Each structure stands twice: as structure tokens, then as C-alpha cells.
Amino acid sequence: GAVVSQHPSWVICKSGTSVKIECRSLDFQATTMFWYRQFPKQSLMLMATSNEGSKATYEQGVEKDKFLINHASLTLSTLTVTSAHPEDSSFYICSAKKGPQGNEQFFGPGTRLTVL
């Protein structure tokens, strides 16, 4: 199998607080994980690529100081939205690759963030 979990499933927070989202590969080791953002009725937009043990690679326009990514192990990557604001409200989805070869990504169930 290739199961990816995310926690929490949804979170509501006040403006100015920081929120951490976890992404775990449950039955495989993921050398690379990806973080996406999805606005209502839109497609997925890649935010960053996370490799275990190294710094994440951020897509153009994504603030790395605002969206902190830590890929501390082969089964866990975290995304921390710092000083969240209402415009950060979105559906955040992570995915993981099983190995260095191939392009298939397996997605987590997503985390809905609402910033009041």
C-alpha cells in the first residue's frame, strides 16, 4: 500500500497564531514529500518540495519564512503556517513519493485551515 495521513484534518485559529500540520507516510518511507495548497473549486498549487534531511525547495511566490517546512524523518514532514492571517485559509494537502524513481505521488486527505 501507499497510505499518507495528515493531522489535523481541520483547524480553526485566530489571526496571528501559528499552526502546524503533520504529514506522515504510514507504510512506506518517503524521501520526498510535497506540500500543496488548494483554494475552493481550483486545482492544486505546489508550494514546496521537501526532502528528508535537507532544506525544502519553495515555489516562486511562496514565503519560506511564513510556511516553515521540516522533513525530519523518512515518514514525517511538517508544515507550519506562522502568524496566520485570514488569507492563509485554504485546504493544504501533502503528498509523498515512495522512492527516488518514478513520478507517482500519494496524497494525504488534506487539512482545512480557517483563520478567523
Partner 1 sequence: TQLLEQSPQFLSIQEGENLTVYCNSSSVFSSLQWYRQEPGEGPVLLVTVVTGGEVKKLKRLTFQFGDARKDSSLHITAAQPGDTGLYLCAGAWGNNAGNMLTFGGGTRLMVKP
Select the span of 11-19, 46-54, 69-77, 80-88 touching partner 1 (CB under 8 A): 46-54
Bridging pattern class, strands 10-13 and 111-115: parallel
Dist CA 16 CA 59 (whole Å): 24
- Minimum Å gap between C-beta 108 and partner 1 is 5
| Backbone phi, psi, residue 65, to 5° | -80, -15
- Minimum Å gap between C-beta 49 and partner 1 is 4
Subset of 61-80 contacting partner 1 (CB under 8 A): none
Dist CA 39 CA 19 (whole Å): 18
Q: Which residues bind partner 1 (CB under 8 A)?
A: 4, 6, 32, 34, 41-46, 49, 51, 57, 91, 93, 95, 97, 102-110, 112
